Structure 1
Amino acid sequence: MSTILGHTIIGQGKRIMLVLHELMGDCRNYEPSFAYLNTQEFTYVFLDHRGYGKSKAIQGEYSCNEAAKDISTLITHLGFREVYLTAHSMSTMIAQKAALLDKRIIQLNLITPISAAGIKMKPDAKETMLLQMQQNESKIEEIVEAASKRYNDTWRQYRIDMAYSSSTLDARVGYMKMYLETDFLHEAQEGIDVPIKILTGAEDFPVFSTTHVQKLFKGYKDVEIVECAVAGHYPMIECPVYFVTQLEKWCSNLL
């Protein structure tokens, strides 16, 4: 029996937008943008990965292949013929794998992305990172603090609470391991033949900066990069009107 991931559907338009979340949140990350969605032209499907949100009770191996197959299964379950796939941060790897597996995906919209090579770290640093996440003490706080220097304590606590409440510990550790150890860059560069639209944040970490992302995606076939001048790692929360406007602009000319 196929696993059908939990999801939230908004809208009834002919353009189908399937949306994936990041490591330290679930589909609630997109709630600040809900009021601005064009629900007449688009149908939005906000998906929760295994171990997250509405799929919190669904266990798995939390691999890129598994997550990509889950996306394909949901597309089939919902009866969609063509889908725009939007992904944020760690899920941008999953989206790239899904585009290789499922030709019903006609465009990738990657928000503050990483390439199919994942994030490279020295072995000792990687093991320390995974151990700290597994111990479930202070690592989330450390990451949020580093990403939130511009914002107040209310924002920081909101992001910390979201990270802990959105997912199971096994899922967080599993997907972190995924992007630290998975590399299918050559396959993605050669095999992804749909447009890739990328949104970066000018205030994001250096590893997600526009300059760095340009280098990461240099070998891909059809890439457009737009920078949001006032966002960090969460354009959908920090600049929701701009986020939705850019997303729908990218997807209004293909059908």
Structure 2
Amino acid sequence: MMIYQKLMCDGFELKYCIKGQGQPILVVGSSIYYPRLFSENFYQHFQVIFLDHRGFGKPTHALKQADYTLDKIVKDMEYARQTLQLDDLIVLGHSGHAFLAMAYAKAYPQHVQKIVLLNTATTNSQERQQQSLSYFEAHASAQRKHQFTHDIALLEEDLKREPERRFVHMCIRMGAHSFYDYMFNATSTWDNVHPNMEIIDYLWGVAFAEQNLLQEIQQVSKPIFIGLGRYDYLVAPVSLWDAVDYTPHVKKVIFEKSGHNPMFEEPVFFDEQLIKWINEE
């Protein structure tokens, strides 16, 4: 059973939970969704703090665009660090949240020991998104494409029923883009996750589209772990990251039997690789 606590940040109620003990790892995103992806073994090695950002927090007032700038979300992360009296952090961001992890590490390098970027593209620009879709069409198997066609046809009814959970339903119906096992149904991992779509749309459509992680990696000196899934068509192809292969402070691992969630799909190998990297440098 997860025990949740709350932080009040500038009119947002942000939940967080803590699992395990040891070196602190701050995981930004949904505090409900992300604990479901990591193995119990992983929590034997680290103190993992799962923190909502404003896209998953509960606002106490009507939203204004000024409420969800990237700078304010990064300051929320710092407020959580101060409140929990954490230091020498590993900051971890998965998918779009990798952009938040990097933004925090750039803003508060004195509190960050290492950075973990999982299953992210180098940018979320429209051009890159189209590139990933084209890669899927060119390289996915016929069976995977058929499953995607079946699943995505269900999205319209999902959105009629719960338009406020569009992000969640999109993630579920994109399963054939997201998992090595393209028939896997991820619905249960998203139970009780309620995004603020106005904020999610801004982050993924504007803030993350303006960032380029290849450039930002060269601007930080912290050790960086980049984990990618060979079958992660959401941010494909993995060759987007070829440019970091000779960057001394970057460790890149490709998980050959994973899509968008190697910590869930290959937990033993994922734990082995990340634990080794954290402990050896």
Whether the TM-score (by the shorter chain) exceeds 0.5 is yes
Whole-Å separation in 2 of the counterparts to 1:206 and 1:38: 27
Query: Which shows bigger deviation, 84-93 or 106-115?
Result: 106-115
Give the greater-gyration-radius structure (CA): 2
Indicate yes or no: 2:52 matched with 1:16.
no
SS of the residue 2:125 aligns to: coil
Letter paired with 2:193: S
Distance 1:238 1:104, change over 3 A: same
Whole-Å separation in 2 of the counterparts to 1:47 and 1:179: 19
- Could you tell me how far 1:210 is from its partner in structure 2? 2.7
- Could you tell me how far 1:110 is from its partner in structure 2? 0.8
Query: Which shows bigger deviation, 55-64 or 241-250?
Result: 55-64
Q: Indicate if the aligned counterparts of 1:189 and 1:221 stay in contact, CA closer than 8 A.
A: no
Letter paired with 2:49: V
Indicate yes or no: 2:185 matched with 1:155.
yes
**Which segments of 5 or more consecutive residues in structure 1 lack a partner in the other structure?**
126-131
Distance 1:235 1:75, change over 3 A: same
Root mean square deviation of aligned Cα: 3.4
Distance 1:17 1:194, change over 3 A: same
How high is the TM-score relative to the length of structure 1? 0.75
Distance 1:149 1:188, change over 3 A: closer
The correspondence for 2:58, drawn from 56, 59, 62, is 56
The correspondence for 1:109, drawn from 102, 116, 120, is 116
Letter paired with 1:173: D
- Could you tell me how far 1:184 is from its partner in structure 2? 5.7
What are the within-5 Å matches in structure 2 for residues 91-240 of structure 1?
91-102=97-108, 103-115=110-122, 118-121=123-126, 136=166, 139-140=170-171, 143-148=174-179, 150-152=181-183, 155-158=185-188, 162=190, 165-183=193-211, 188-205=216-233, 207-215=235-243, 217=244, 222-240=249-267
Distance 1:9 1:78, change over 3 A: same
Q: Indicate if the aligned counterparts of 2:176 and 2:182 stay in contact, CA closer than 8 A.
A: no
Letter paired with 1:228: F
What are the within-5 Å matches in structure 2 for residues 24-39 of structure 1?
27-39=32-44
Whole-Å separation in 1 of the counterparts to 2:175 and 2:239: 23
Pick 1 or 2: higher relative contact order, CA cutoff 8 A, min separation 6.
Answer: 1
Q: Deviations over 1:156-196 (max 9, x none)?
A: 5446xx28834122232222223453236587245311011
The percent of aligned pairs where both chains have the same amino acid is: 20
**Which segments of 5 or more consecutive residues in structure 2 lack a partner in the other structure?**
1-7, 131-155
Q: Indicate if the aligned counterparts of 1:197 and 1:225 stay in contact, CA closer than 8 A.
A: yes
1:128 alignment partner in structure 2: none
- Could you tell me how far 1:149 is from its partner in structure 2? 7.8
SS of the residue 1:47 aligns to: strand
Q: Indicate if the aligned counterparts of 1:113 and 1:213 stay in contact, CA closer than 8 A.
A: no
Count of residue correspondences: 234
Q: Indicate if the aligned counterparts of 2:177 and 2:232 stay in contact, CA closer than 8 A.
A: no
Indicate yes or no: 2:49 matched with 1:45.
yes
- Could you tell me how far 1:139 is from its partner in structure 2? 4.9
How high is the TM-score relative to the length of structure 2? 0.69
